[in-house]
């Protein structure tokens, strides 16, 4: 499981509200810094991100209707993008990702993150190319990030709630809107989070809070980072689900954590996604 504990960061930019969690729970510098970033526009935050993480050589690409990039990427940026397309499928990427950003931040533990903009309802994938040299970690990070895109897409929310009106929400109101009854995250919550007498906010960003929650319930999670919030638990569990095809991933997991990994078996589209991702991973391993 260790390989699922790599540096991951996700930022959700939604109407000026930001959710950021760093997986290094003991050094929450990112989370603390980004807590200050509320009420900023996307562009301001991107600028700030580049500064804060020491990104140099930043390149920005627009995603075209067929998943290709404009301008065309080269070198490592192109290789990572091709891997992302292979893992997620070019049509689905083109339908959800509008921008791809890369930079070099050798001092940052962040490998990649996705974020949403409330206005456009689509995602940007940002990658720190300096952190992409470990193939397994890159793979698991991209799988993790794509699961955020899948679970936080427009189709996962009650349509009427997407402009911020969550009055009468019968599930959970996230910053994006009210989760639909059939959404992945709501089903995941009902099955695994609802029973806790007390749990962190489902959008918790505090590494300190996450660490305490994990300490009390370590057997319930596939990784410490998963205890951060509902979305990270979902993403880490999905990443374990993709890797579990080899048959040994569930070893050592507690019953609840193992049930989180097999949760995804009930969704044929996610099983198909897992098979697609696994084939890509195996092909990549074959050429090493």
Note the residues at the interface with Zn ion (CB under 5 A). Answer: 10, 232, 235
Which CB sits closer to Zn ion, 69 or 238? 238
Query: Shortest approach of Zn ion to residue 143 CB, angstroms?
Result: 11
Query: Shortest approach of Zn ion to residue 128 CB, angstroms?
Result: 14
What residues are paired with 56 via a beta bridge?
104
In this structure, are residues 26 and 208 in contact, taking their beta carbons and an 8 Å threshold?
no
Report which residue's Cβ sits closest to Zn ion: 10
In this structure, are residues 176 and 152 in contact, taking their beta carbons and an 8 Å threshold?
yes
Which CB sits closer to Zn ion, 69 or 111? 111
Phi and psi dihedrals of 125, rounded to 5? Answer: -105, 125
Which CB sits closer to Zn ion, 10 or 77? 10
Query: Shortest approach of Zn ion to residue 153 CB, angstroms?
Result: 15
Which CB sits closer to Zn ion, 158 or 241? 241
- Burial of residue 162 (CB within 10 Å: 0-12, 13-18, 19+) is middle
Query: Shortest approach of Zn ion to residue 271 CB, angstroms?
Result: 21
Give, in degrees to the nearest 5, the angle at Cα 77 between 73 and 82: 80
Which CB sits closer to Zn ion, 187 or 231? 231
Query: Shortest approach of Zn ion to residue 185 CB, angstroms?
Result: 13
Which CB sits closer to Zn ion, 81 or 146? 146
Neighbours of 96 (CB within 10 A): 21
Interhelix angle for 135-151 vs 75-88, to 10°? Answer: 50
Phi and psi dihedrals of 111, rounded to 5? Answer: -95, -50
Distance CA 148, CA 96 (A): 11
Query: Shortest approach of Zn ion to residue 232 CB, angstroms?
Result: 5
Distance CA 186, CA 182 (A): 7
């Amino acid at each position: 499981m260790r390989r699922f504990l790599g540096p991951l960061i996700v930022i959700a930019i939604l109407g000026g509200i930001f959710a950021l969690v760093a997986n290094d729970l003991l050094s929450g510098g990112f989370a603390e810094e980004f807590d200050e970033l509320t009420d900023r526009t996307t562009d301001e935050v991107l600028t700030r991100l580049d500064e804060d993480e020491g990104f140099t050589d930043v390149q920005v690409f627009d995603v075209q209707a067929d998943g290709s990039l404009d301008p065309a990427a080269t070198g490592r940026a192109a290789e990572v993008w091709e891997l992302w397309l292979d893992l997620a499928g070019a049509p689905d990427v083109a339908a959800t990702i509008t921008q791809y950003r890369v930079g070099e931040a050798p001092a940052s533990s962040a490998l990649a993150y996705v974020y949403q903009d409330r206005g456009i309802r689509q995602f940007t994938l940002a990658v720190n190319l300096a952190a992409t040299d470990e193939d397994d970690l890159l793979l698991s990070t991209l799988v993790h990030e794509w699961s955020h895109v899948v679970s936080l897409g427009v189709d996962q929310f009650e349509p009427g709630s997407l402009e911020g009106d969550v009055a009468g929400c019968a599930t959970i109101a996230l910053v994006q809107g009210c989760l639909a009854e059939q959404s992945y995250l709501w089903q995941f919550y009902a099955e695994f989070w609802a029973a806790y007498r007390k749990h962190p906010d489902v959008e918790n960003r505090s590494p300190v809070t996450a660490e305490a929650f994990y300490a009390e319930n370590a057997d319930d999670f596939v990784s410490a980072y998963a205890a951060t919030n509902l979305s990270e638990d979902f993403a880490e569990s999905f990443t374990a689900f993709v890797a579990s095809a080899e048959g040994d991933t569930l070893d050592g997991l507690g019953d609840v954590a193992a049930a989180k990994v097999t949760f995804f078996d009930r969704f044929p589209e996610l099983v198909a996604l897992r098979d697609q991702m696994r084939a890509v991973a195996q092909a990549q391993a074959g050429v090493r």
